[in-house]
Amino acid sequence: MVTIDILLMVASSVAVIAISATYLFFRSVRMRPSNSQSDESLTDMASSLISVLATAGFVVDNSLAVLRATNSAIALGLVSGRVIRSNEIRKLVRSAKDSDSTHEVEFELTLGAGGDVRYLHARAVSIGSGFVLVLVEDSTDERDFETIRRDFIANVTHEIKTPIGAITLLSEAMEGALDDPKQMHKFADSLRREARRLSNLVTEIIQLSRVESSDILSSARPVNIGAVIREALERTVVIAEAKSIDINAKFPDDIFVMGDGELLTVAVKNLLENAIQYSDKNQQVGIGVTTRNGHVDIIVTDQGVGIPADEQARVFERFYRVDESRDRTTGGTGLGLSLVKHISMSHRGEVTLFSQQGVGSTFTIRLPRLVDTSEENTHE
Ligand code: ADP
């Protein structure tokens, strides 16, 4: 998220510098006496300058007729031929025409009948002789990012408050049950579960922000997929044994990808953990590796509860859980698969899911293989 933040800051700084430069340029040109030739070169220069900006822009004359417009201004439907199509911009131009300062307006624009809404920020400045230069930036992505950030913080706050509230209540309940060892055991058990939930949550939030804020590929090293799977198996052996689940693991030891070994281990561990947690006692879980067309597939299968078809696209969203009540007992956070998705994407890969309710699930992490793509082996 920090990366996106920085990119947005850089992008908006570049836009502001470019717009300020354009504005200063035209202010200086405006000081000169006007004649029809300089008016023409004025609009010519305006056109050349707006064409190098990434923003939409156009120049209008005294009667609000559009003289030049960038393709993006036309594509957005802000102008058509010589006419300004947007009421907001028409009003803006009128107010900027006889003024010395830059006038600004923010407004929503619905694109076509489909209703895709864009958030635009328009600036207009008089460039002399009745001409007005209009520059329009599309801030939709920035606003979407801000909404995602706000939702994420609201979710984190809610998710953290839940176990903290439970821990407070349980500690009060324990005080009232000091003479009842059976009750004390029950409360201690619940306390442990809530503490584990809190700890999982904090760990996964930190991991998620690490994946999102760093450029994994710039510090990537060759990673042995066999070593990643072995480590992930080691981290899940306790929960697998607790449910008497046998993990059938078959994988080669000579398959490499470029990336971050610890993050890839977290991704595989999360898939194994889910496979175990959403299976019944004594069921089978499998992990295997296949290579094809320059890709490595790490495949985790289970015979567990499965995921309903209409929920499958959503399970990769942050904090999304199919069955919240079940998650209370597993200590799940709803962040595990979101992490798997981000880790896969940051390695130029992807994660896919095939699942049938009551039959089981198969998750596949596909990564670009490090090598010699001519080789076509399959290991299962
Ligand atoms: P959680 O911490 O709740 O397991 P995840 O992001 O790992 O969060 O998973 C999101 C949801 O997807 C889970 O709450 C669960 O309902 C479902 N899910 C994930 N893996 C499996 C699986 N192997 N079998 C069935 N359901 C699964």
What is the tens place of the pLDDT at every residue in 283-320?
Answer: 999 999 999 999 999 999 999 999 999 999 899 998 88
Cα 219 from Cα 309, distance rounded (Å): 38
**Ligand 1 and 336: CB distance under 6 A:** yes
Predicted confidence at residue 261, as pLDDT, reads: 95
Residue 302 alpha carbon, nearest atom of ligand 1: 23
Contact 79, 93 (CB under 8 A): no
Cα 352 from Cα 277, distance rounded (Å): 19
Contact 50, 22 (CB under 8 A): yes
What CATH topology corresponds to 219-380? Heat Shock Protein 90 (3.30.565)
**Ligand 1 and 302: CB distance under 6 A:** yes
Instruction: State the burial class of residue 225 (Cβ atoms within 10 Å of its Cβ: 0-12, 13-18, 19+).
Output: buried
**Ligand 1 and 333: CB distance under 6 A:** yes
Low-confidence ranges of the chain (pLDDT < 70): 1-43, 47, 50-51, 53-54, 112-115, 324-331, 372-380
Residue 275 alpha carbon, nearest atom of ligand 1: 23
For ligand 1, mutation pick of 337, 339, 357, 362 (most atoms within 8 Å of CB) = 337
Contact 257, 225 (CB under 8 A): yes
Q: For every residue of the chain, which 3-state class applies, written as one string?
A: CHHHHHHHHHHHHHHHHHHHHHHHHHHHHHCCCCCHHHHHHHHHHHHHHHHHCCCEEEEECCCCCEEEECHHHHHCCCEECCEECCHHHHHHHHHHHCCCCCEEEEEEEEECCCCEEEEEEEEEEEEECCEEEEEEEECHHHHHHHHHHHHHHHHHHHHHHHHHHHHHHHHHHHHCCCCCHHHHHHHHHHHHHHHHHHHHHHHHHHHHHHHHHCCHHHHCEEEEHHHHHHHHHHHHHHHHHHCCCEEEEECCCCCEEEECHHHHHHHHHHHHHHHHHCCCCCCEEEEEEEEECCEEEEEEEECCCCCCHHHCCCCCCCCCCCCHHHHHHHCCCCCHHHHHHHHHHHCCCEEEEEEECCCEEEEEEEEECCCCCCCCCCCC
Cα 265 from Cα 270, distance rounded (Å): 8
The residues that bridge with 117 in the sheet, in sequence order, are 110
For ligand 1, mutation pick of 278, 338, 364 (most atoms within 8 Å of CB) = 278
Q: Model-level pTM? A: 0.67
What's the 353 CA to ligand 1 centre distance in angstroms? Answer: 11
Cα 95 from Cα 134, distance rounded (Å): 12
Structural domain boundaries of the chain?
2-138, 141-213, 219-380
Query: Tokens representing 123?
Result: 């600036």
- Closest C-alpha to ligand 1, atom 23: 275
**Ligand 1 and 267: CB distance under 6 A:** no
**Ligand 1 and 197: CB distance under 6 A:** no
Residue 324 alpha carbon, nearest atom of ligand 1: 14
Cα 261 from Cα 11, distance rounded (Å): 32
Same topology for domains 2-138 and 219-380, yes or no? no
In tens, the pLDDT along 111-145 reads 766 667 889 999 999 988 889 999 999 888 888 88
**Ligand 1 and 311: CB distance under 6 A:** no
What CATH topology corresponds to 141-213? Helix Hairpins (1.10.287)
- Whole-angstrom Cα Rg for the chain: 29
What's the 354 CA to ligand 1 centre distance in angstroms? Answer: 13
**Ligand 1 and 332: CB distance under 6 A:** yes
What CATH topology corresponds to 2-138? Beta-Lactamase (3.30.450)
**Ligand 1 and 84: CB distance under 6 A:** no
Cα 215 from Cα 211, distance rounded (Å): 8
CB atoms within 10 A of CB 250: 11
Cα 163 from Cα 160, distance rounded (Å): 6
